[in-house]
């Protein structure tokens, strides 16, 4: 069998190619691949390892609800460091939940000419939630975004796009130079991964729904020329059965939905190659 590289926490682990007849077991934040012939455990990621990974890749200083590896709890913050929203060069500001945060690494790695800013919180939708950190993140954003005035604002979240009053929300952002709404990212079912370049996508219908909401002829975006929508489905998927999952044998995901550092770098490069961030 061939050998591929599989990303876990900060390093690559080689494991045998997963083909038909190989068992792949998955529980939340714990991925185990077993060779059907040898019953040999070949790769696993523990819950704690994944949380530690998320802590480091998500720019925790600028995360209002960052998981802390020492306390093993979410840190609900009322404020973040001023470095998170001040800049000297051209700037890109990320706002949303962890599905916005997972772009931070790729943006920082590939856009040296920009200062990458962040006002975000784990599990914090744009329309809000009951957590202290989320309230702080969204309130601070609402009160300061016009003053901060980044060159590019990137909005992204796991779901909840349909729950936001976009006309009112974007009306508050119409003075900004450029607003990019990234649609929902593909979420995979690790346990149903059959081929190394194909996985079952759990939210394909939701991605189509949100794409239509923003791309239909009478979309609310027609009223806001500074706002652009990017379909992550179109960027990463060829159809509902096949989206980018493993690239050159390396998994672009850290879990069923969040991009790894490798994945963040890969996806941002794709956005740039299609001239979707400019």
* DSSP per residue, 7-35: E-SSSEEEEE---TT-EEEEETTEEEEE-
Per-residue model confidence (pLDDT) at position 238: 87
pLDDT digit string, tens, across residues 248-257: 878 888 888 8
Question: Of 23-32, 43-52, 76-85, 205-214, which gets the smallest average pLDDT?
Answer: 23-32
The CB-side HSE value for 244 (13 A sphere, CA atoms) comes to: 19
Between 247 and 175, the more confident residue is 175
What pLDDT was estimated at residue 12? 33
> Is pLDDT of 87 > 60?
yes
Percent of the chain whose pLDDT exceeds 90:
56
pLDDT at 30: 32
Determine the average pLDDT of the residues in 64-78: 79
Mean pLDDT for the chain overall:
79
Q: What is the largest CA-CA distance in the chain?
A: 61
Question: Confidence band (pLDDT; 50, 70, 90) for 193?
Answer: low
Average pLDDT over residues 208-214: 98
Instruction: Give alpha helix (H) positions in the chain.
Output: 47-57, 98-101, 104-110, 132-148, 166-171, 204-215, 232-236, 261-273
Q: Kindly tell me the sign of the dihedral angle through the C-alpha atoms of 74, 11, 18, 184.
A: positive
- Res. 148 pLDDT band, cuts 50 70 90: very high
Q: Which residue has the higher pLDDT, 278 or 37?
A: 278
Residue 61 neighbours by CB under 8 Å, 6+ apart: 80, 81, 83, 84
pLDDT at 6: 30
């Amino acid at each position: 069998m061939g050998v591929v590289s599989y990303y876990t926490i900060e390093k690559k682990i080689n494991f045998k190619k997963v083909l038909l007849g190989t068992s792949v077991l998955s529980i939340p934040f714990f991925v185990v691949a077993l060779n059907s012939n040898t019953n040999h455990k070949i790769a696993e990621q523990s819950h704690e390892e994944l949380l530690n990974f998320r802590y480091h890749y998500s720019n925790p200083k600028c995360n209002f609800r960052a998981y802390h590896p020492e306390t093993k709890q979410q840190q609900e913050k009322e404020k973040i460091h001023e470095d998170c929203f001040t800049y000297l060069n051209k700037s890109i500001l990320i706002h949303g939940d962890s599905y916005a945060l997972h772009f931070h690494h790729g943006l920082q790695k590939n856009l040296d000419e920009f200062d990458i800013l962040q006002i975000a919180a784990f599990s914090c939708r744009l329309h809000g939630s009951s957590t202290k950190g989320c309230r702080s993140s969204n309130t601070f954003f609402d009160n300061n975004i016009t003053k901060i005035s980044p060159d590019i604002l990137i909005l992204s979240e796991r779901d909840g796009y349909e729950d936001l009053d976009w006309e009112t929300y974007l009306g508050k952002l119409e003075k900004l130079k450029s607003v990019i709404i990234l649609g929902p990212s593909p979420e995979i079912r690790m346990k149903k991964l059959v081929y190394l370049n194909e996985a079952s996508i759990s939210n394909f219908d939701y991605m189509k729904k949100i794409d239509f909401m923003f791309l239909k002829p009478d979309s609310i975006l027609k009223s806001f020329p500074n706002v652009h929508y990017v379909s992550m489905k179109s960027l990463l998927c060829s159809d509902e059965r096949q989206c980018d999952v493993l690239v050159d044998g390396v998994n672009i995901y850290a879990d069923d939905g969040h991009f790894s550092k490798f994945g963040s770098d890969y996806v941002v490069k794709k956005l740039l190659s299609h001239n979707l961030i400019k």
